[in-house]
Structure 1
Amino acid sequence: MRLTAFADISLRIVMRLAVADPDDLLTTRAAADLLAVPYTHAAKAVARLSELGVVEARRGRGGGLQLTAAGREATVGGLVRALEPAGDVVGCEDDPPCPLRAACRLRSALRQAQEAFYASLDTITVASLVDAPTGPLLLSLTPPGKGTNPAIA
């Protein structure tokens, strides 16, 4: 199964915030730069993560992003379920609809596989995602063109 770019960007932002110093708030622009994603995509991800109660976003001078306690304890499976669009893995009801839809067993098998995928992610918390070596690497990221990035070097 492949995640949408939206879910991928959202998870990367959550991971970066999980290793951030609480006194050093990261802005959406800085997060986008560090993670090499478009600002507009990062802003949409931050808005959704804020709606979910995973990220606290403060505006204005001294503002920035902070992972909430709920965000730190969130499971990756729960986040992916909340970030990915609902629906079937395959488009049985698309236009034109699949001619096999009335007797097809594939949709059910794919739905079961999708749930198994999510269930395997339910065992992983955001906090565990940033254990070494990931956490130190996240902290070492620099925006492109602003110094050497050990992840690329």
Structure 2
Amino acid sequence: MRLNRSTDIGLRILMLAAARSEDLLTIDELAAGVSVPRSHLAKVVQRLQHLGLLDTVRGRGGGVRLATAAADASVGRLIRDLEGETEVVDCAGAQPCPLSTGNCRLRGALRVAQEAFYASLDPITVGDLAAPPVRQVLLTLGRSG
């Protein structure tokens, strides 16, 4: 299974914010820390804020930080939320599959596999992703100077 780019960026933002939970991080620091354009990162930050995973502080000296309960958030649940109701295959794409009328077992099997993928990530938390030794690397990313 392949995650969309926004989900990948979102996970990296949360890992960095979890490792530096005592810091208020600017969008520029986060963009440098996860190596993505500022404009794209800002959209992902907004989505994470709406999900209650990041707190934002506006104005001069503002930035973002990990929300209080975010370190305990399930990675499986988070990926489900960020990916939305997507399926592994698109049976109704530009050229709909002739087997999508109910005679195909592939779609159902892939749905089961996709849920198994998410379920395997359910016990892992955002805090787990930023735990040592990864934490030491994350602490250096995006730091100015």
Give the TM-score category using the shorter length.
Answer: over 0.9
Residue identity over aligned pairs, in percent, reads: 51
Alpha-carbon offset, residue 119 of structure 1? 0.2
- Range moving further from structure 2, 92-101 or 47-56: 92-101
Residues 55 and 21 from structure 1, CA distance in 2 versus in 1: closer, same or farther, beyond 3 angstroms?
closer
Match of 1:109 in 2: 109
> 5+ residue gaps in structure 1?
148-153
Match of 1:7 in 2: 7
Amino acid at match of 1:130: A
Match of 1:151 in 2: none
Separation in 1, partners of 2:13, 2:70: 11
Q: TM-score, normalised by structure 1?
A: 0.88
Alpha-carbon offset, residue 116 of structure 1? 0.2
Match of 1:19 in 2: 19
Match of 1:139 in 2: 139
Separation in 2, partners of 1:30, 1:129: 19
Separation in 2, partners of 1:128, 1:94: 37
Alpha-carbon offset, residue 59 of structure 1? 1.0
Separation in 2, partners of 1:34, 1:88: 30
Separation in 1, partners of 2:132, 2:38: 27
The 4+ residue runs of structure 1 with deviation greater than 3 A are none
Aligned pairs for 1:75-86 (under 5 A) are 75-86=74-85
- Range moving further from structure 2, 64-73 or 112-121: 64-73
1:87 aligns with 2:86: yes
> Superposition RMSD on alpha carbons, in Å?
1.5
Match of 1:66 in 2: 65
> 5+ residue gaps in structure 2?
none
Alpha-carbon offset, residue 21 of structure 1? 4.5
Separation in 2, partners of 1:138, 1:104: 45
Match of 1:37 in 2: 36
CA contact (8 A) 2:56 2:63 kept: yes
Amino acid at match of 1:43: A
Count of residue pairs the alignment pairs up: 144
